[in-house]
Structure 1
Amino acid sequence: MTLHKNLLSTFLLLHLFIIGAKVSESARIFTIVNHCRETIWPAVIPGEYFNGGGFALKPGQSLVFTAPIGWSGRIWGRTGCNFDKNGNGPCQTGSCGNSLKCSGAGKPPASLAELTLAALDFYDVSLVDGFNLPMSVTPLNGKGNCSIAGCDSDLRNSCPSELAVKGNGRTVACRSACDVFNTDEYCCRGNYGNPSTCQPTYYSKKFKQACPTSYSYAYDDPTSIFTCKGTDYVVAFCSSRKQPVCTYHNRNLICSDSTGLRPSMGKYWWTMILGSTFAITLSIIS
Structure 2
Amino acid sequence: MLAGVYSGSILTIENKCNQTVWPVIYSWESQLSTTGFTLKRGEARALQAPSSWYGLISGRTLCSNDSTGNFSCATGDCESSKIECPGSYSWSKVTYVYFRIDYGGINSYFISLEYGYNLPVMVVPSQSSSTCFSSGCMVDLNKTCPDNLKIFNGATPIACSSACRGFATPENCCTQYFKSKQNCKPTLYTQNFERACPFAYSYPYNDNNSTFTCTNSTNYVITFCPSSVPNINSYAFFFFFSAGGLAALTVIIIIVVIVVVVRAKNTRRKSDSTDENIEAAVMLRRYSYENVKKMTNSFSHVLGKGGFGTVYKGKLPDTSGREIALKILNESSKGNGEDFINELASMSRASHVNIVSLFGFCYEGSKRAIIYEFMPNGSLDKFISENMSARMDWKTLYNIAVGVARGLEYLHNSCVSKIVHFDIKPQNILMDGNLCPKISDFGLAKLCKNNESIISLLDARGTIGYIAPEVFSKNFGGASPKSDVFSYGMVVLEMIGARNRKRAETSRSNKSSMNFPDWIYEDLERKETNRLVGDHIIEEEEEKIVKKMALVGLWCIQTIPSDRPPMRKVVEMLEGSLEALQVPPKPLLDSHLVTAWKTIEDIEDTSSLSTQSLLERKNISTGQDTLTVSKEAV
Contact 1:27–1:69 (CA<8 Å) still a contact in 2? Answer: yes
Which shows bigger deviation, 238-247 or 94-103?
Answer: 238-247
Task: Please tell me the residue identity of whatever aligns with 2:221.
Answer: V
Superposition deviation, residue 145 in structure 1: 2.2
Q: Relative contact order (alpha carbons < 8 A, sep ≥ 6): 1 or 2 greater?
A: 1
Residue equivalent to 2:82? 99
Question: 1:86 and 1:59 mapped to 2: Cα distance?
Answer: 27
Question: 2:82 and 2:196 mapped to 1: Cα distance?
Answer: 32
Q: 2:43 matched to 1:61?
A: yes
1:264 to 1:37, Cα distance in 2 relative to 1, 3 A: farther
Superposition deviation, residue 219 in structure 1: 2.0
Report the RMSD for the aligned CA atoms in angstroms.
Answer: 2.9
Question: 1:142 and 1:254 mapped to 2: Cα distance?
Answer: 17
Task: Please tell me the residue identity of whatever aligns with 1:33.
Answer: E
Contact 1:83–1:100 (CA<8 Å) still a contact in 2? Answer: no
Residue equivalent to 1:252? 412
Q: Deviations over 1:97-153 (max 9, x none)?
A: 122111232542110000011211110010001001111111113666212221000
Q: Decide which structure has greater strand share.
A: 1
Pairs within 5 Å for 1:7-46: 20-46=1-27
1:203 to 1:283, Cα distance in 2 relative to 1, 3 A: farther
Question: 2:18 and 2:115 mapped to 1: Cα distance?
Answer: 23
Match of 1:176 among 132, 142, 162: 162
Question: 2:191 and 2:128 mapped to 1: Cα distance?
Answer: 31
1:30 to 1:262, Cα distance in 2 relative to 1, 3 A: closer
Question: 1:253 and 1:31 mapped to 2: Cα distance?
Answer: 11
1:284 to 1:45, Cα distance in 2 relative to 1, 3 A: farther
What's the TM-score, normalizing by structure 2?
A: 0.37
Contact 1:93–1:107 (CA<8 Å) still a contact in 2? Answer: no
Aligned residues with identical type, % of pairs: 33
Question: 2:45 and 2:414 mapped to 1: Cα distance?
Answer: 16
Q: 2:311 matched to 1:207?
A: no
Pairs within 5 Å for 1:132-147: 132-141=118-127, 145-147=131-133
Superposition deviation, residue 212 in structure 1: 1.7
1:21 to 1:67, Cα distance in 2 relative to 1, 3 A: farther
Contact 2:221–2:415 (CA<8 Å) still a contact in 1? Answer: no
Question: 2:23 and 2:5 mapped to 1: Cα distance?
Answer: 25
Contact 2:12–2:414 (CA<8 Å) still a contact in 1? Answer: no
Task: Please tell me the residue identity of whatever aligns with 1:231.
Answer: T
Pairs within 5 Å for 1:271-282: 281-282=438-439
Instruction: Determine helix, strand or coil for the equivalent of 2:110.
Output: strand
Residue equivalent to 1:112? 96
Q: Which protein shows a greater Rg? A: 2
Q: Any gaps of 5 or more consecutive residues in structure 1?
A: 1-19, 266-278
Pairs within 5 Å for 1:147-226: 147-226=133-212
Q: Any gaps of 5 or more consecutive residues in structure 2?
A: 230-282, 285-347, 352-407, 422-435, 444-634
Which shows bigger deviation, 92-101 or 24-33?
Answer: 24-33
Task: Please tell me the residue identity of whatever aligns with 1:207.
Answer: F
Instruction: Determine helix, strand or coil for the equivalent of 1:99.
Output: coil
Q: 2:442 matched to 1:285?
A: yes
1:264 to 1:250, Cα distance in 2 relative to 1, 3 A: closer
What's the TM-score, normalizing by structure 1?
A: 0.78
Question: 2:118 and 2:124 mapped to 1: Cα distance?
Answer: 19
Task: Please tell me the residue identity of whatever aligns with 2:225.
Answer: C
Question: 2:96 and 2:61 mapped to 1: Cα distance?
Answer: 14
Contact 1:144–1:227 (CA<8 Å) still a contact in 2? Answer: no
Question: 1:132 and 1:168 mapped to 2: Cα distance?
Answer: 16
1:156 to 1:210, Cα distance in 2 relative to 1, 3 A: same
Residue equivalent to 1:77? 59
Q: 2:391 matched to 1:231?
A: no
Pairs within 5 Å for 1:255-266: 263=419
Task: Please tell me the residue identity of whatever aligns with 2:84.
Answer: K
**Count of matched residue pairs:** 250
Task: Please tell me the residue identity of whatever aligns with 1:116.
Answer: R
Task: Please tell me the residue identity of whatever aligns with 2:19.
Answer: E
